[in-house]
Structure 1
C-alpha cells in the first residue's frame, strides 16, 4: 500500500507548486500595479497639459448645443493625438463632450468613482469594465476651473487590454515552467518518499489493525534507527494494550453481571446532572430504557414527579438522603431511595442512588397488622359470648333447666367456632410459611367426591339443597388428597351455606388437554345462592374478608376458608377464579395440573 508515499510526494510537490504560484502571483500583481501606476501618472500629466494649453469655452453663457459641439469636436481631436479617450464633464456630472460616444446617450457621471475622488482629493482614478468597448478601462479624472467660465472635469481613459494580454503571456510561461518543474520534482520526490515511507506504511498498517481491536498485530521490522525504535514501541504498546483490554473486559463483564443481577436498582447522576448509569432493576421499577435515558438530564424521569423532586433536592444539596416515594408503573410501587454524593476532597463526581422496591414489604406489614387486628376481633367475639353466658350460669341467674341448657349449647357452639378459627389460622400459617409440603399421590376423583358428598349430605338435606356431581368415572389426578379435600369442602360448604332452601349446588369436573401446555383438570363449583356484588369479587380471597358479615358468622364461617383455598390451589401450581351475579349465584373455577412436576414439588 503506497498511499502514504504518494501523499508525501504530493505534499512536496504541493509545497513547490504553492511557492511558485505564490511567487508568480506576487510578481504578476506587482508588475500589473506598477504598470497601472505609471499609466495613471502619465494620464495625469496629459490632463495637466490639456488644462494649461486647451482653450476652454464657457458652459454658462453659450447655448448648450454650441459648447457641447465644441467640446465633442475637441475631444475627438485630442483623442487622436494622445491615443486615449477624452471626456469633458460639467461640475454637476453632465457630460458635455466625449471622443467616442454620443453624449446624449451618456448618463450623469457625478457618482462615478474617478469623478467623486477627483472632487474630494483633487485627482481620481478607477478601473472598471466598459460596456461600450467590452473591455477593462483605466479612468483618470481631475477638476478644471478656468477664468473663461468652465468649471468641471477632464477625464482621460485608456484600455487595459495590453496589460491583460501581457499578464496572460506571463501566466502561460509560468504554468509551462511549473509543469516542467513538477515532472522533475515528482521523480525525485517519489524516490525520496519511498525510502522514507515504506517502513512507516508498514507501521501504519499495524497501528490501524491495533486501532480496530486486532491486538495480535505486530510490526515485523528489524532496524536500529529511529524507525526501528518506533516499531519496537508499537509492538510494546500492542502487548500492553492486549493485557489491559483483557483485564478491562474481565472487570466490565464482572461489573455488568453484578449490576444486572442486583436485586436493588442503581441510578447514577453525574456532576452535570445527566444520567450516567441505570441497571436492569431500575429499568423494571421505573419502566424506562437505559439506552434512551443514559446521557440525558435526570429531568427525563419527569413521569415520576415525586422521585425526580427527591433526586433534584439531593443533587442541589449534595447530601445523603433516605426517603420513600411512590411511583406508578403502571400500578403504584413504593420505592425506598437512598442517595449518597460521589465526591472526595478534590472534586464532586455526582450522586449515586440505590432504589429498593419495598411495596411487598410494606404490603406484608400492613397485612400483618390487619391480620392481627382481624384475629383479635374474631377471637374476641366467641370468647365474649362464652364468658358472658358462663358468668350468667355461674352467678345462678338461670333457674330454668331448659334455658341453662340453651346457654350451655351456645357456649359449646362458640367454643367450636373458636376451635375452628384457631385451626384455620394454624393451617393458613403453615401453608404461608411453606411448612406444609405436598404429599402427592394418585387420587380417583369419582370416589373422592363421593366421600365429600357423604360429608356434606346431612347439612344439604337440612336446607333441602340438591348436591349434584358430574365426575368422569375413569379420571385420576396427582395431588395431596388431604389438601384437595380441604379445598372442596370449603368451596362446596360455602355453596351450601349461601344458597337458599331448595337451591342447587353443582360440582362439574372435566379434563382439559392442549397441545402446547400440560394437561389440566378443571373443577367448577356453582350454586344458586345469594351471589357476590361485583365490587367485592376482587377481595373475597383475602383473609377475614366477608361480603355479608352477619350471614357469615351465623353460618359458623371463620372468614379464612377462601384464603386457605387460594393458597392450597397455588401450592398445587393451579389457579382459582370466581364469577358471580348478585341474587343468581356464584361459580368458582379451579384449574389444577393433571400431574405435578418433580422440580416444582421439590421447591
Structure 2
C-alpha cells in the first residue's frame, strides 16, 4: 500500500518538476531565438531605410555582396520586376519577394536554397522608395543567418540535453520527497495497525466469556424468563455475534496489511467445501423465509488457495445477500470454472434492495455502508466487501458488480486459481 502511494507521489512530484523546468527551458529557447532574429532584423531594416533614401536620390545601390555581410541588395519596381541588385538573386527567391511585395509583407524570415543545394535562412526587409512624392518600388535587403541559425540549433540541443538531465533529477528529487512524505504516514499507520490487532486479540477473550455466560444463562433460566427478557437476551447474543464478526474482520485486515493474503496455499476440493457452507445458508433461508439456491458444476473442481480465505470470501458475499433481502426474496450461489484460463468463478445473485449507482464505486472502502441507518438495522460494519476486495486482489482476480435499485444485486468473482476439473 505504501509503495503504491510512494510511487504515485513520486510520479506526481516528478511530473510537476519536469513540466516546470520544461516550460522554463521552452521560454528561454524562444526568448533567445527571438533576440537573435530581432537583432538581425533591426540591422537589416536600418540598412533598407538608408538605401531607400539613397536610391531615390541617385538610382544606385551601394555596397556589394560582402558589404555589411549582406546576402543581397536589390531594387524591385512597383510591378515587382527587379531593376538593380547586388549579390545573387536566385529566380525562386526573386519570385518569392515579388509575391511578398504584392502581399505587403515588408519584413520577415525566408528560406533559400543556393545553386549548390545548400539551404540558408534569411532575414529580409523591404522599404518603399519614394521619388517626387510617388512610390516607384522597393529596396529589398536580405541577410543570411546560417551562423545564427546554427547557434540556435546548438542552443536547442543544449536545452534538450538539460531537459533530459532535469527529468532524471526530477525523478530523484521526487522519490526522495515522496519517501519523506510517506514516512510519518507509515509510522502512524503501523501504530494504528498494531493497536487494532492487539485490541482485537484482547477483546476476543472477554467476548468469548460473555458469550458463554449468555449461553449458560439462557440454558439455566430459559423457562423462568419473561418474553421481554428473552428478547433482550436475543438482542445481546446478536450484538455479541456482530462484535465477534467485527473483530474477525479487523484481524483479517491487520493480517492482510502485515503479512499479505494468499501466501499459504494448498490444493482444495471446491464442491465439498461449498456444500458445507451451503447447509448453513439453507437453514438461514428457512428461518428468514427466503429462498436459497445452490448451482454447482457436475464435476469436482480443484483449486490452489487458502481454504480459510476462500470460505471467508464466499461467506462475505452470501452474508451481504441475506442482509439486504426481504422475506420471499431469492439468493443464488452459482459455482463455475473457465478451464482454458484456469479461472475459478462464482457469483451471488439476489432479488433484494440493490445498490444505488452513485454508491457503487464506494462499496469496497473500509467502514463504508450504504444508507447508514438501514445498514445499522440489518447489521454489518462496512468491512466485509473491503476484505473481499483484499482477498480477490491478493489472488489477482476480479469482481464485477451488476446492481439495480429495488431489483437486486449480482457479484461475479473470478480467481485464477483453478488446477483441474475432475
TM-score, normalization: structure 2?
0.49
Q: Which is greater in Rg?
A: 1
Q: Larger relative contact order (C-alpha < 8 A, sep ≥ 6)?
A: 2
TM-score, normalization: structure 1?
0.35
